[in-house]
Amino acid sequence: MAFPGLRGASSGLLAVLKKGPRLRRRKPRSSTPVPDSALTPPNPIASLAPLTQIISTYLSDKDVERVRDAYRFADSAHLGQFRASGEPYISHPIAVTEICAGWKLDADSLMAALLHDVIEDQGVAKQDLAEKFGSDVSEIVDGLSKLERLEFATKAEQQAESFRKMLLAMSRDVRVILIKLADRLHNMRTLDAVSIEKRRRVALETLDIYTPIAHRLGLNALFRELQDRCFKAIYPNRYAVLYKAMMSARGNRREVISKIADAVRIALPAAGLEAEVSGREKSLYGIYKKMVAQKKSFSDVLDIYGFRVVVHTLPECYLALGTLHQLYRPVPGKFKDYIAIPKVNGYQSLHTTLIGPYGTPVEFQFRTRDMDHVAEEGVASHWLYKEAGTSLNDLQKRTHQWLQSLLDIQSQTGDSGEFLEHVKVDLFPDAVYVFTPQGKILSLPRGATPVDFAYAIHTDVGNQAVACKINGEFSPLRTELRSGDAVEVITSPASRPSAQWLNYVRTGRARSEIRHYLRTERYEESVAFGRRLLDQAFDQIRLPHPKDDAIEWERLAKSSGATTRDEILADIGLGKRLAAVVARRFAPENSLLETTAAAVDEMTSATNAPIVIHGNEGQAVQLAACCGPLPGDAIIGGIRLGHGLVVHMGDCPVALRQQVKEPERWIPVVWDTTTARHLSTRLDITVLNERGVLGRIAAEVTEADSNIMQLSMPEDAAATALIHLTVQVDHRKHLAQVIRAIRHVPQVQKIVRAKG
Is 161 catalytic? The answer is: no
DSSP secondary structure code for residue 379 in this structure: G
List the beta bridge partners of residue 434.
442
HSE-up (13 A, CA, CB side) for residue 180:
26
DSSP 56-87: TTTS-HHHHHHHHHHHHHHHHHTTT-B-TTSS
Taking every pair of Cα atoms in the chain, the longest distance, rounded to a whole number of angstroms, is 103
Which stretches of 135-195 are DSSP H helices? Answer: 135-144, 155-172, 175-189
Q: To 10 degrees, what angle do helices 135-144 and 107-114 make?
A: 50
Q: In three state form, how does the secondary structure of 607-676 look?
A: CCCCEEECCCCCCCEEECCCCCCCCCCCEEEEEECCCEEEEEECCCHHHHHHHHHCHHHEEEEEECCCCC
Q: To 10 degrees, what angle do helices 394-411 and 508-540 make?
A: 20
CA distance 451 to 560: 41
Contact 600, 664 (CB under 8 A): yes
CA distance 619 to 526: 8
Q: Which residues contact 707 (CB under 8 A, 6 or more apart)?
A: 678, 701, 727, 728
Out of 36, 63, 120, 552, which one is annotated catalytic? Answer: 120
Q: In three state form, how does the secondary structure of 318-364 look?
A: HHHHHHHHHHCEECCCCCEECCCCCCCCCCCCEEEEEECHHHCEEEE
Best CA proximity match to 123, nearest among 81, 169, 69: 81
Contact 189, 163 (CB under 8 A): no
Best CA proximity match to 165, nearest among 183, 154, 177, 153: 177
Out of 36, 121, 192, 552, which one is annotated catalytic? Answer: 121
Residue 289: in which H helix or E strand, if any? helix 284-294
Contact 140, 179 (CB under 8 A): yes
Is 61 catalytic? The answer is: no
HSE-up (13 A, CA, CB side) for residue 619:
20
Contact 299, 242 (CB under 8 A): no
Contact 421, 415 (CB under 8 A): no
Q: Residue 30 region, left (φ>0) first, then alpha (ψ -120 to 50), else beta?
A: beta
Q: In three state form, how does the secondary structure of 564-587 look?
A: CHHHHHHHHHCCCCCHHHHHHCCC
Question: Edge-to-edge, what's the strand order for the sheet holding 748-753?
Answer: 707-712, 720-729, 679-688, 748-753
Helix (H, G, I), strand (E, B) or coil at 156: helix
Write out the catalytic residue numbers.
120-121
